[in-house]
Structure 1
């Protein structure tokens, strides 16, 4: 049986330094078929901070049962090497242990930034990071990324450089997951979706690709293409004249994500996953 949610939130995330992020976009979709809407940052801010996103999620879930999808990898590959950090003694053996470690190493960084880990020689060796490529860095893949590849292949989670550098956002996201312990179901590592807030990992480009829209060079942000993708997930259309904002058309990613998780959440098979998902996480909707 599928969980019963009242509100669906899609978040295009950012792992950048600082506390005001133009690349963060937030969208809400009500239950049903209504078109999702873009949510502005707090009134006193030009852009979202990661901390304000976390506070917003807590507030919204206090009002209605909420499913929120956030665009970062919840965990690192584990199954391929039976560890997150091959060769490391006393490496974390579970996702919550990994999140706690990332938060502890970056404790002095503001707004959940996670890049201080690159200054730790023991851990920096595993990352392709700005100014340093660790000698143990490899393009490892989680099982969900392997499963997603026929539709759209995600980038490796230890890569923190360039347009495909998803690792920086994941580091910041893992800090948030740690801080939300007890306040949210961090799915699929945790499975108690009776809580008022359930967090899932999303991949907007995967959802566009499922809908037959190529998410390259801004094509997916064109109103006709965005509405085509929304329709695929059972959503009404955006109005004429709508323009997706953000450095990388981030609002388009947030909108399709809120519509996609709303549609996918009603499918029981989406909630049934292989056991590896407990240690590696899983992109919501990947079969």
Structure 2
């Protein structure tokens, strides 16, 4: 089996699809190799999606050996119907083309938001939106990617990217993330769509609940809102205690804890070669790092 890639830095971005300039849900944590606790990186006015894209691009151009986890789905289900959007002749053949399409239809939307995409006459047919359930939305919890079925098998609670309703919906976050990934093409590779290079940063999709589970937090009680609980969870992931925060919120603690998990998980060769991830899945749907 191939060796694991080696990284000197690790970062996790807790993402948000909120259609404002600086979403409150954006958080970035960083750690070096070793066991020092991750730290939060935050500009004075908070992060925008464009600023985070620039931060990643800067590390790409500097060839920083960094593994970057983004808490979003970089693609829609494809394998179940052989198409992202069955019945739409513009449905893309792979994830790179999907990012291009999302960008093309949302190019005039501010703050890297995606209102124009989800309201497109063909696209909207596949989504469940507030007071607008598309006629091609599959019903129930919606369509899942293969790796999301894997998440469910691990007793996690994945949500379909075609569901845009409710506090736990992930579709808008994923779509705004696709606009960022479009901007990072040929600057920073995204696993498993792109080969992992010998140097420079790599982006992977992460699911913060995996980190919470690895730290011993029970399902339904995975959110950390105080320093003692955060230090206990970090210790379970071989990390030293953190520098106290001025404010403990889900986004900050998720980013910190998942960075510590990513640093440890990156050493597990099995996670880079999931047994059920075929080449077709890798180029169309992608994979959540940590799902076997």
Q: TM-score, normalised by structure 2?
A: 0.90
1:189 to 2:190 alignment: no
Size of the aligned set, in residue pairs, is: 281
CA distance in 1 between partners of 2:224 and 2:133 (Å): 32
Which of 274, 282, 287 is residue 287 of structure 2 equivalent to?
282
| Other-structure match for 2:263 | 262
Structure 1: gaps (5+ residues):
none
Q: Deviations over 1:42-68 (max 9, x none)?
A: x4xx22100001111122342621111
Indicate how the Cα distance of structure 1 residues 195 and 134 shifts in structure 2: closer, same or farther if over 3 A, else same: farther
Counterparts of 1:254 and 1:143, CA distance in 2: 25
Q: Of 161, 165, 171, which residue of structure 2 is paired with 1:167?
A: 171
Equivalent residue number for residue 216 of structure 2:
212
1:83-108 Cα offsets, whole Å, 9 max, x none, are 11122224111000111000100000
Distance 2:147 2:246 in 1: 32
Residue 216 of structure 1: CA displacement? 4.1
**Equivalent residue number for residue 144 of structure 1:** 147
Measured at CA, do residues 74 and 197 of structure 1 come closer, stay the same or move farther in structure 2, by a change above 3 Å? same
Unaligned runs of 5+ in 2: none
Q: Deviations over 1:16-58 (max 9, x none)?
A: 11211111011001101110001112x4xx2210000111112
* Root-mean-square deviation (Å): 1.8
Report the TM-score when normalising by structure 1: 0.92
Contact 1:244 1:250 in 2 (8 A): no
1:102-153, CA deviations, whole angstroms, 9 ceiling, x for partnerless residues?
A: 0100000122112221221111010112342211112111111111112412
* Partners of 2:181 and 2:121 in 1: CA distance: 24
Give, in angstroms, the shift of residue 195 of structure 1.
Answer: 4.5
